[in-house]
Amino acid sequence: MGHSDAPNNPDLYFRQVPLGPMANFIYLIGSRRAGECLVVDPAWSTDALIDIAGRDGMRITGALVTHYHPDHVGGSMLGFTVPGGVAELVGRVDARVHVHKLEADGLKKITGLSEGDMVRHESGDRVQLGDVTVELIHTPGHTPGSQCFLLHDRLVSGDTLFVNGCGRVDLPGSDPAQMYETLTGRLAKLADDVVLYPGHDYGPTPTSTMREQRRTNHYLRIRSLDDWRRMMGR
Ligand SMILES: [Zn+2]
C-alpha cells in the first residue's frame, strides 16, 4: 500500500472539464512532478483536451474509460456519432487506453480502437503516475464493464452515479440487478468525505460528497432489490 494516494496529495493534478452538447464531464488526472496525465472519457474534442492539458504544463499519456458509450469515448453506436474519442486520441498522442476487460470488445467495435492500444483491466487494478494512484473499481449495471476510478477521497463515476441520480439501466447491455448491487454493495460503502465526480452535469451541483449523496440521492437509499425494481418500473 506504499503507493496508496493520500489526501491533499501535492503531486495530484486533477481537473474537471465540461465538454460537448450532452453535459459531459471529462477529467484530467495526473502527476504534477511527472508532468503526465490521463484523460477520463476523452470524447467530443481531442484538440480542446490536448490544449487544456498543455496550458497546465501536462502531457496526456493515456485514457481511462468508464464505459463504451460514444458520448464518453467517441465513435458510433446505433447511428449516433460523437467526434473526438479514444481512437482519435491515440492517433494524436502516445497513449494507452485503460478499459475493464468486459468492456474492451464493445469499445473496439464502437470506436475502431485496436487491441494493441488497449490495456484490459480487472477490478482492483491500479494505474500509477508519479505519486498518484488511480484504483479501478468494476461497477456493472449501466453497461457490463462500467468502472469507476478512486483516488483516495475522489470517485470519478462515469454514468454509474450522478449527483442525485444514477445511470440508465434500460439500454442494451444494462442490468438493473447488477446496478442495484453496484450502488448498495460497492458505492454506498464509500467514506463520507469521498467527493463524487460524475460523468455528466445532471445534478444541482457539479460535485457532491458521499455524505450528502447518502442523504439526497434516492438511488443510494434503496432497501431491497424489490424496492429497486419498483423504482425502475419493472
Ligand atoms: Zn452511458
pLDDT in tens, 159-184: 999 999 999 999 999 999 999 999 99
Chain centroid, CA 96 distance in Å: 16
Phi-psi category of residue 91: left, alpha or beta, with phi > 0 → left and psi -120 to 50 → alpha = alpha
| Domain-located, residue 82 | yes
| Domain-located, residue 5 | no
Whole-angstrom distance, CA of residue 28 vs CA of residue 70: 18
3 pLDDT higher than 60: no
Average pLDDT in the 103-129 region?
Answer: 98
pLDDT at 4: 47
What's the CA-to-centroid distance between 230 and ligand 1, angstroms?
22
| Domain-located, residue 7 | no
| Domain-located, residue 3 | no
Range of the domain at 50: 12-231
Query: Taking the model in full, what pTM does it have?
Result: 0.96
What's the CA-to-centroid distance between 1 and ligand 1, angstroms?
32
| Domain-located, residue 1 | no
| Domain-located, residue 163 | yes
| Domain-located, residue 6 | no
The C-alpha cell 488497449 sits at 118
| Domain-located, residue 176 | yes
What's the CA-to-centroid distance between 146 and ligand 1, angstroms?
9
CB-based contact 34:130 (threshold 8 Å): yes
Structural domain count, the chain: 1
CATH of the domain at 124: 3.60.15.10
What residues flank ion ligand 1 with Cβ within 5 A?
A: 69, 159
